[in-house]
Structure 1
Amino acid sequence: MTYGFRIDPGNVRAQDVEEAERQAERVQALLAEEERRVSEIVGTGGGDSGQVSALVAADGRVLEVTLQPRATRDGSEALAEEIQRAVQRAQLDAQRQAEALLRESLAEALPSLDAQALQERLGRLLD
């Protein structure tokens, strides 16, 4: 599905307005679908020892932390670090998945857009 078309500002026709309305409806439908797809993203991550794993939603919410029986053998401080590492890795995984989904969707919706260049430019603006 491609979005965008050329309109001559000096000669806007009724069919141009209708096409713009149709495209706006398609964009709204695409956004609703992408919101649904993002809500299904689950990032996974684990600690260095393999004794702790975590599942995280795309919005960063921790969905689950699983501890293997031996996870506590090195004490509570080491366990806390393992949990933190597992959750951070799961959050990064969810973020990577969401970014990949966004790039895919932008490429489909706006094939002439350089998503990588846009992301780099946004990154520079936000720094």
Structure 2
Amino acid sequence: MKTTPLLLAFLLFAGCSKEGDNCSQYGWVNIVGAKYMGKSTSDARGQNGAFYDVSCTFPNSCYAINKIVEMRDKDTVLLKAEYIYNTCTVCTQAFTTQTKTYSFIPADNGTYYLKWEGIPNRVDTVKIP
């Protein structure tokens, strides 16, 4: 008789889980386009910045661009796109192109060279005064 409340409590908590815990998968996707949108004169930190609309193509609607990741080596910045894939939803089975705005705001003024993972031989030169 004492095991019944314990068993009920176990079953109650075993059935509880945070929604989305097992629904998201992450990985890398090639960037297929990067459209320069311009520079700002300042941002919240007081630095100049350059802005791009970054595009990636996916095989279905369950994918999305999660974030653009910077890998810096002095004045050269390699940009990669991380995707998020939702495994817990029904997807439209058609190729989709998604765009996310990327803000390049370096800590110091200078000339920077942006390279895009998936766009061979493209290097954007950004001068931050």
Query: TM-score, normalised on structure 1?
Result: 0.28
Higher helix share: 1
Query: TM-score, normalised on structure 2?
Result: 0.28
